[in-house]
Amino acid sequence: MEYNFKNNYNQRIDQEFNNVIWQERLKKGINFNLPEEKNILVRWMKVGDVSEVYNIERETFPSPWTRDGFLYRLNERDYNVSLVVPVERNLVAYAVSYIVYDELHFSNLAVKMNYRRYKIGEILLSTSMQLGKEKNCRWVHLEVRRNNKSAIQLYQKFGFKIVGVRKDYYKEENEDALLMSKLI
């Protein structure tokens, strides 16, 4: 197996990844089984999702991306990997990455408070990495706030290593960014 996965949804990811219509199927959404018999659907982000994504972004981060930030990524179709997780009529999580040569830049990830700790973050990360890999990426890079323990733990679980620090990168919070990378 590609990643060190143990759960049902991970087997599901492996099955889907072996499937040539995987990227096409993400238009409608792919269902993953989660612990406690929950299921989540992952699909591509669309322009129509941006307002809702932006609302989660504002609830989550002290210095949120703008709506245009998300639209800009969506417009760069060939380099964009933006995913959402809808539950009934609402979005509960999203991830945004973009491709530069053979690098996937995993640049945004958020899960709504009530939906955390159900492995949604893991699924979005692993799905994004697999999509990057299919587009010939060899590396995944990201930045994370030094004090963001949960995110750092998530990335370390997937084998990311700290490769650098940007001092005071998050100006408003006066916080450093850790640069983390992983070969895929």
Ligand X SMILES: CC(C)(COP(=O)(O)OP(=O)(O)OC[C@H]1O[C@@H](n2cnc3c(N)ncnc32)[C@H](O)[C@@H]1OP(=O)(O)O)[C@@H](O)C(=O)NCCC(=O)NCCS
Which residues are catalytic, by number? Answer: 143, 155
Which one among 81, 92, 99, 120 touches ligand X, defined by CB under 6 A?
Answer: 120
Which one among 104, 122, 132, 182 touches ligand X, defined by CB under 6 A?
Answer: 122
Nearest to 110 by CA among 77, 144, 76: 144
- C-alpha span between 153 and 135 (Å, rounded): 26
Residue 49 CB, shortest distance to ligand X, in Å, is: 17
Residue 24 CB, shortest distance to ligand X, in Å, is: 25
When the beta carbons of 83 and 144 are compared against ligand X, the nearer one is: 144
User: Two tokens at 153?
Assistant: 């733990």
Using the rule CB under 6 A, is 119 a contact of ligand X? Answer: yes
Give, as ranges, the residues between 14 and 73 that touch ligand X (CB under 6 A): 60
User: Two tokens at 36?
Assistant: 């406690």
When the beta carbons of 59 and 136 are compared against ligand X, the nearer one is: 59
Report the residue number whose CB is nearest to ligand X: 121
Residue pair 42/26 in contact by the 8 Å Cβ criterion? yes
Which one among 83, 154, 178, 182 touches ligand X, defined by CB under 6 A?
Answer: 154
**142 CB burial (10 A radius; 0-12, 13-18, 19+):** buried
- C-alpha span between 134 and 35 (Å, rounded): 27
Residue 177 CB, shortest distance to ligand X, in Å, is: 9
Nearest to 149 by CA among 119, 178, 181: 178
Using the rule CB under 6 A, is 118 a contact of ligand X? Answer: yes
**Residues forming beta bridges with residue 162, ordered by sequence position:** 180
The residues of the shown chain that bind ligand X, judged by CB under 6 A, are 60, 109-111, 116-122, 144, 148-151, 153-154, 157
